[in-house]
Amino acid sequence: MHSLKKILVTGADGFIGSHLTEALVRMGYNVRAFVYYNSFNSWGWLDESPTGIRKELDVFAGDIRDPHGVKTAMEGCDAVLNLAALIAIPYSYHSPDMYVDTNVKGALNVVQAARELGVQKVVQTSTSEVYGTAQFVPITENHPLQGQSPYSASKIGADQIAMSFYRSFGVPVTILRPFNTYGPRQSARAVIPTIITQIANGARRIKLGALSPTRDFNYVSDTVRGFIAALESDAAVGEVINIGSNYEISIGDTARLIAEVMGAEIEIETDEERLRPEKSEVNRLWADNSKAKKLLGWEPKYGGRDGFKRGLRETAEWFTNPENLKRYKADIYNI
């Protein structure tokens, strides 16, 4: 077992955070789950976790924008995985101020508290969106950063703040940069759940935004394994590491593959409301994951077309379960 015993996971109530929290508990870590304070006393997706896992959790309700709360939550923890963020790109056009507060200021609060408390490892969650449209492929960690949306600009800022604390104060930071993660529990705002929930609800004319952009999709369990590998690796300190499948596919082809997996005949129509402003659309993403293999010993278990189909099948199975599907308002486009 690693010397890190108690782990703080921020954004533990979210899509990736909940899967990561559960995986850490199963591995025997003592986890403090930082969830977004709300009057419903909801722990987000952790409310759905198996009872055995929920019993093991030390849940802290707070707000990543509050430095006092962040430091209080981090007390007694050996490491922190910061997944708390606003991630919807369309909403970042609408409310950029909230993205700077949550993503940039949130990251600052995490590394500041980690510095003051002498935490042994900080993993800051980045995103492939920081690269913007690929200038070369596959995209290595040395690719230029381009803020093509307020969201991506806020994540570039968060990454830079975190790395500045490594360089200025020796805070043991790793920047983990997952490409597009998908799987059970993802918001229906994201493209794969959008397609699955529309088909599952009986729609055969599928509404999507731009069809030609390509993405490098990561099944959520692969992303989670990347976080755990980064947490446990001393070689990762001071490094930026891509987590991606090294497989590129267009949104249109993704929709056709999902229809094939779900046994549905579909027509795709472009919904103007879902299109990003032209210069803001990221047209191409394709990850070079060789650094993750070298430094972390990580590689995707759901890589390539076959792995992608397997991940889509597991995702579709989860979403088509009526208990899960009813949580989603698939007939409404939610930014």
Q: Quick check: 333 and 187 in contact, CB under 8 A?
A: no
| Residue 273 confidence (pLDDT) | 82
| Residue 333 confidence (pLDDT) | 62
pLDDT mean across residues, the chain: 95
Bridge partners for 31 per DSSP:
7
Q: Is the predicted pLDDT of residue 324 greater than 50, yes or no?
A: yes
**What integer is the mean pLDDT of 175-182?**
98
Q: Which of 160, 252, 169, 181 is nearest to 19 (CA)?
A: 181
Model confidence pLDDT, tens digit, residues 37-61: 999 999 999 999 999 999 999 999 9
| Residue 66 confidence (pLDDT) | 98
CA–CA gap between residue 100 and residue 161 (Å, rounded): 12
**What integer is the mean pLDDT of 217-229?**
98
Both tokens assigned to 238:
């001071």
Both tokens assigned to 330:
């698939």
Domain boundaries, the chain: 6-182+218-243
Residue 209: pLDDT band (50, 70, 90) is confident
Lowest-confidence region among 25-34, 175-184, 277-286? 277-286
> Which residue did the predictor score with more confidence, 188 or 143?
143
Q: Is the predicted pLDDT of residue 159 greater than 80, yes or no?
A: yes
Q: What is the pTM of this model?
A: 0.96
**What integer is the mean pLDDT of 290-312?**
98
Q: Quick check: 280 and 323 in contact, CB under 8 A?
A: no
Pairing between β-strand 30-36 and β-strand 173-178 as defined by DSSP bridges: unpaired
Q: Which residues, 6+ apart, have CB-to-CB distance to 90 below 8 Å?
A: 189, 274, 276, 335
What is the percent of the chain where pLDDT is above 90? 90
CA–CA gap between residue 238 and residue 291 (Å, rounded): 13
| Residue 1 confidence (pLDDT) | 42
Pairing between β-strand 249-250 and β-strand 214-215 as defined by DSSP bridges: antiparallel
Name which CATH class applies to 6-182+218-243: alpha beta
